[in-house]
Amino acid sequence: MLIKMRKIACYFLAAILSVTLFANIVYAAYQYYSTTLPPLKGDRTLISGYKTTGYDNILHRNISIGGSYDAVDVWIERKNADDSWTRVSDNEAHYEGGGPYTLWANTDLLSGDFIRVRGQNHDLTYVYVTIKGEIDLR
Amino acid sequence: MELFKIIKLEFNFFVNRKEFLYVFTVSLLLMIVAFFVDLYNLFQEDIMNIPPANQLWVGFDSRIGDLFYMFLLPLLASLAYADTYYLNNRLGVYKYILTRCHKKNYVLAKGIVVAFSGFIVIFVPLLINQLLYFIIAPLNSSKNILGWPAYMFIETKNMIFANLFLNSPYLYNILYMVLAGIVGSLAALTSYAISFITNKSRLIIVATPLVIYLVSSFVSALLGRANYCLVYYLQGFTTISGLNATYFFVVLIMSFILSISIIIFKNMIAKDELY
């Protein structure tokens, strides 16, 4: 009887874990970021982390940019074995209040790849500009 | 009649001036470099992935264009011919000129040629850049400069002349070439006006419009009002919200009136040793 109950408990646990993992895959896991974009189109990492799926894209939404600036240029970089970074997507302009944007990589991204999303102000600026938003690295 | 003769003479001086040729060459080279950078990036690209020629134009949304408009435009315009009154004065040449014609005509003729010089060193290279893009890019394309998919149309909400862009994109670019030329013209005229106020240094005369342009833009940006930076009004595509056409034209008219007032006051009202 005890063995049977343990078996049921194991099945139940396995079922919960499966559902949780499935939910992680199906539903987007947006992460909040907040940073400043340097003047004169300086680059800044918006967010970085591991890919949890094999989708070759990331999602970007709820963008808010300071001052009168309205758009940020975004692209993806992947970390190599020698700790260097390789750009794996083209630049794409993302507007404040727009989206959710899907930024596609032009290479095959695998689950477990360490990637970062880089950004720069779309216009040449004289000053630092704050930016906030949410990104799902997928 | 005398005025036209002096204009013709000044125009000949302007065309043959070494500084004008240098400035024009630098301006033209920048436009050609911008073209070759895009040519390299788009080399062997599928025609479907190339944005239209109007969006590739350096004055629309280009990094080299950004630098040109932000740091070089007023300086190049002022360098072409605006400091010649100062040089004539410094070298004593004006005495020989003023004994042969009326000072009013001389100042007016020079002012016209200075304004023209500022316009031409900005407008012509921009126009040539646009013509170059016709060689490599299609006139119309579903691909846009923002990197968006073909089904998403370029964002027009921050454009001052959005209707013109949507209906006649190439006319829209010509309008922006003319606007940049007018700003160049006003920068040259400002330098010319300053040469009546001070004769201490050629650098002050040539650099003052650039300093005013940069400082005013920097202060506006620092106060969180980037929509008052003049540079963003000169490019066909910016993502700055709250751009106001009235503000831009008022600034242009005010700087024109101010320059003309200085020239009139220093020449027509204040008399020098010859007049």
What's the confidence (pLDDT) of residue B93?
A: 83
Local structure of residue A123 (DSSP, 8 states): S
Residues above pLDDT 70, as percent of chain B? 97
Task: Check whether the bond before B52 is cis (ω within 30° of 0).
Answer: no
CA distances B170 to A36, B158, B175, B256, Å, are: 36, 18, 9, 28
Question: How far from B149 is each of B48, B98, B115, B159, CA to CA, in Å?
Answer: 11, 64, 43, 21
Please give the pLDDT value at position A27: 55
User: Does ipTM come in above 0.90?
Assistant: no
Model confidence pLDDT, tens digit, residues B131-181:
999 999 999 888 888 888 878 888 898 999 999 999 999 999 999 999 999
Question: CA–CA separation, B270 vs B255, rounded Å?
Answer: 21
User: What is the C-alpha R_g of chain A?
Assistant: 19
pLDDT of residue B270: 62
- pLDDT digits over B100-131, tens only? 888 888 999 999 999 999 999 999 999 999 99
A98 to chain B: closest CA residue: B155
**Percent of chain B topping pLDDT 90:** 75
The answer to whether B158 faces chain A, any CB pair under 8 Å, is yes
Q: Is A95 in Cβ contact with B221 (below 8 Å)?
A: no
Cβ(B169)–Cβ(B162) below 8 Å? no
* Residues of B in Cβ contact (< 8 Å) with A70: 158, 239-241
Residue B80 distance to chain A (closest CA, Å): 26
Residue B238 in contact with residue B248, Cβ under 8 Å?
Answer: no
Range B219-238 average pLDDT: 92
| pLDDT range class, residue A21, cuts 50, 70, 90 | low
Q: Is the pLDDT of residue B274 over 80?
A: no
pLDDT digits (tens, 9 = 90+) for B7-62: 999 999 999 999 999 999 999 999 999 999 999 999 988 888 899 999 999 999 99
* Nearest C-alpha in A relative to B68: A124
Residue numbers of the domain that contains A126: 29-136
* pLDDT of the residue at A72: 94
Residue A44's domain is classified under what CATH number? Answer: 2.60.120
% helix, strand, coil for chain B, step of 5: 75, 0, 25
Query: What local confidence, expressed as pLDDT, does residue B138 receive?
Result: 92
Look at residues B202, B218, B30, B256 and name the one whose alpha carbon lies nearest to residue B132.
Answer: B30
Asked whether residue A14 is domain-assigned, the answer is no
Please indicate, yes or no, if residue A16 is contained in any of the structural domains. no
**Beta carbons of B218 and A122 less than 8 Å apart:** no
Rounded CA-CA distance A111/B90 in Å is: 73
B80 vs A17, higher pLDDT: B80
